[in-house]
Amino acid sequence: MIRHLLRRALYALAVLAGVNLLTFFLFFTVNTPDDMARLNLGGKRVSQEAVEKWKAERGYDKPLYVNAAREGAQQLTDTIFWERSVSLFALKFGRADGESAGDIGHEVGTRMKVSLQLALPLFILQLMASAGLALLLVMFRHTRLDTWGVVACVLMLSISALFYIIAGQVLFSRVLKLAPISGYAEGWAAVKFLALPIGLSLLARLGGEARLYRAMFLEEVGRDYVRTARAKGLSETVVLVRHVARNALLPIITSAGSYLPYVFLGSLVFESFFGLPGLGAYVIEAIAKQDFAIVRSMVFLGSLLYVASFWLVDVLYTVVDPRVRLG
């Protein structure tokens, strides 16, 4: 298993290097530092002196790949590629392109806490609610409850998340006044601001997740070990919970693992609409302001979290099912 994990780590490193090189090429070769300076300063009529000053303040006045004016290792390290691309592997994100955006690493550390407060409870509740609803539909399969439950799931997954947000804000914030329409507060006061986005996001994802898990459980219901368990006199509830749900954990872990990066990066749409200062809102603000330094950093961070999530999924396979041996 150790060899397999080391091999996956090397694959992950190659993926990160590829993503890093591609984003660097797009942002610094297709779109030069001079172009970025003019975009941030207000257009093409900006003087070259202002452009050079902007580049010098952010370290964009250096050569892209090789600094011939330096000697030894500094020919490679004193370049834009090293400071803005290679340094990302050490999680050194540098300064944002905006005038008052500050250090990206500090913003990421601060905003990730907010994103975790939103996404971690949502991740746990989503897994419990989706699996619970799916098990209920499987228990009453071929009945009206199952039929109308599937219809409800299809309707829920067919509706855009924006509708849930707008309708939820109108109903629960403006009409019933049960929760603030937007905003954020530190400590336990954050609960009243997070309850509504967590509930609406849970509802928006419930239909698709429950329908997916129902299909997984139905596939397990027809297995030989299920018929054997029933022949031994076990009740349907025990069969579903102890046997079917347990043996369906591998595909569920795969599905849930793909959502793990959002636990750290937050939700772009929900954080923006509810005024939560998390990483999702940070990305939206950076795109709106054309702050490419933040966008590059978040692309790299997202890639890192994705490869780390699937590396963790491989480990969980061996924990859930001892028969799985990674070779």
Residue 86: inside a domain, yes or no?
Answer: yes
Q: Examine the domain organization and report whether 85 and 113 are in the same domain.
A: no
Among the candidates 90, 122, 155, a domain finishes at 90
* 192-202 per-position pLDDT tens digit: 999 999 999 99
For range 289-296, the mean pLDDT: 84
Q: Examine the domain organization and report whether 165 and 275 are in the same domain.
A: yes
Q: Please tell me the distance from the alpha carbon of residue 258 to that of residue 309, in angstroms, as a whole number.
A: 7
Residue 99: inside a domain, yes or no?
Answer: no
**pLDDT of 303:** 87
Residue 101: inside a domain, yes or no?
Answer: no
Among the candidates 59, 90, 121, a domain finishes at 90
Q: Please tell me the distance from the alpha carbon of residue 75 to that of residue 66, in angstroms, as a whole number.
A: 5
Q: Helix, strand, or coil here: 45?
A: coil
Domain range enclosing 145: 109-320
Residue 325: inside a domain, yes or no?
Answer: no
Residues 6+ apart with CB under 8 A from 81: 24, 28, 64, 65
Residue 98: inside a domain, yes or no?
Answer: no
* 153-187 per-position pLDDT tens digit: 999 989 988 899 999 999 999 999 999 998 999 88
Q: Examine the domain organization and report whether 128 and 80 are in the same domain.
A: no
Q: Examine the domain organization and report whether 148 and 254 are in the same domain.
A: yes
> Has residue 150 got a pLDDT over 90?
yes
* 220-277 per-position pLDDT tens digit: 888 888 889 888 888 888 888 888 888 888 888 888 877 777 766 767 788 888 999 9
Q: Say which CATH number the domain at 281 has.
A: 1.10.3720.10
* 16-35 per-position pLDDT tens digit: 899 888 888 888 877 778 88
Q: Examine the domain organization and report whether 276 and 182 are in the same domain.
A: yes
> φ, ψ for residue 59 (rounded to 5)?
80, 15
* 42-64 per-position pLDDT tens digit: 766 778 888 888 888 888 888 88
For range 275-294, the mean pLDDT: 86
In the chain the first and final C-alpha atoms are separated, in Å, by 6
- CA angle, 71 then 77 then 83, to 5°: 150
Q: Give the pair of three-digit tokens for residue 95.
A: 């300064």
Residue 31: inside a domain, yes or no?
Answer: yes
Q: How many domains does the chain have?
A: 2
**pLDDT of 133:** 94
**pLDDT of 101:** 63
Q: Examine the domain organization and report whether 124 and 183 are in the same domain.
A: yes
Q: Examine the domain organization and report whether 74 and 145 are in the same domain.
A: no
Q: Examine the domain organization and report whether 158 and 291 are in the same domain.
A: yes
Residue 69: inside a domain, yes or no?
Answer: yes
* 102-138 per-position pLDDT tens digit: 788 888 888 889 988 988 898 899 989 999 999 999 9
> Has residue 146 got a pLDDT over 90?
yes
Residue 36: inside a domain, yes or no?
Answer: yes
> Has residue 326 got a pLDDT over 60?
no
Q: Examine the domain organization and report whether 22 and 126 are in the same domain.
A: no
Among the candidates 63, 90, 117, a domain finishes at 90
Range 117-121, long-range pairs (CB < 8 A, 24+ positions): 117/190, 117/194, 118/194, 118/197, 118/198, 118/266, 118/267, 118/270, 118/271, 118/276, 118/278, 119/262, 119/263, 119/264, 119/265, 119/266, 119/267, 120/263, 121/194, 121/198
The pTM of this model reads 0.81
Q: Examine the domain organization and report whether 189 and 278 are in the same domain.
A: yes
**pLDDT of 80:** 87
Q: Examine the domain organization and report whether 130 and 249 are in the same domain.
A: yes
- Any idea how long the chain is? 327
**pLDDT of 77:** 87
Q: Examine the domain organization and report whether 135 and 47 are in the same domain.
A: no
> φ, ψ for residue 85 (rounded to 5)?
-125, -60
Residue with tokens 């939700």: 267
